[in-house]
Amino acid sequence: MSLLHRIERADDALNWHGDMPTKGRYTAGIAGERFFREIKERGQFLATVCLDCDITYMPPRLYCEECFSQLEEWAEVGSWGHVHTFTVVHRDLDNEPLSEPRILAFVTLDDTDGGLVHYLAEIEPEDVYLGMRVEAVLKAEDERQGSITDIEYFRPM
């Protein structure tokens, strides 16, 4: 068998399995900590604002990507906006059909220059359209953990 000979079955050649046994432990960071704590404790969305560049960052950043200055101006913003684009997911990572297709959307939030990617629910996939008005549905206060999943999904307004 030459080196270029295709292996028809995995066990035609000697082989063994290995993995990279690492796990990630991430922090939300300086800006992210405040953003998620505010959602957890008050259900309030916050953005940071660069007054010089006239950019309102959602999710909030510590620094302005454009002028690179530190952002110290925080603004309370609404947890609603419109669907910028969306997809309907039919299969899971193992290529198994989902029992219910899930709608994933990029939601542009009002009064900001950004938004969040999240699920849409309380609507059928065929009824979703670009520009549709949507709002965040938060978990109950005692179930919130300071994570993006404190938002259960967005729904039509």
Partner 1 sequence: MTGDRVAVVGAGMTKFVRRAQETPKELSWEAAHLALQSCEMTIDDVDAVVIGTAPDAFDGVHMKSEYLSDGCGGWGKPLIRGYVGGGTGVFAAIQGWYHVASGLFDTVLVVCEEKMSSCQPHPQAAFLTIFDHTTERPLKPNLLWIFALEMNAYMNRYGLSKRDIATVSVKNKRNAADHPAALLGDPDITVEDVLNSPVLAWPVQRLDVSPVTDGAVALVMSANHVARRVTDRPVWVEGVGWNLDTAYWTNRDLSYPVYVEEAARMAYDMAGISEPRQQIHIAEPYDPFDYKELHHLEGLMLFDRGEAPRAAADGITQRDGDLPVCPSGGLLGVGNPIAAAGLMKVAEIFWQLRGEAGARQVPGNPKRGLAQAWGDLMQVGTVVVMGV
What's the min distance (Å) between Cβ of 59 and partner 1?
11
Site residues, partner 1 (CB under 8 A): 16, 18, 20-33, 61-63, 65-68, 70
For the record, the structure tokens of 104 come out as: 């994933």
> Residue 29 or residue 101: which is nearer to partner 1 going by CB?
29
Q: Nearest Cα to 79, choosing from 57, 105, 109?
A: 109
> Residue 24 or residue 131: which is nearer to partner 1 going by CB?
24
Q: Are 39 and 150 in contact (CB under 8 A)?
A: yes
What's the min distance (Å) between Cβ of 155 and partner 1?
30
Q: What is the DSSP letter of 96?
A: P
Exposed/middle/buried for 119, CB within 10 Å: 0-12, 13-18, 19+? middle
What's the min distance (Å) between Cβ of 44 and partner 1?
21
What's the min distance (Å) between Cβ of 70 and partner 1?
7
> Residue 146 or residue 156: which is nearer to partner 1 going by CB?
146
What's the min distance (Å) between Cβ of 48 and partner 1?
12
The identity of residue 91, as a single letter, is R
> Residue 32 or residue 156: which is nearer to partner 1 going by CB?
32
> Residue 56 or residue 153: which is nearer to partner 1 going by CB?
56
Helix (H), strand (E) at residue 33: helix 29-42
The identity of residue 20, as a single letter, is M
Q: What is the DSSP code string of 111-134? A: TSS-EEEEEE-SS-GGG--TT-EE
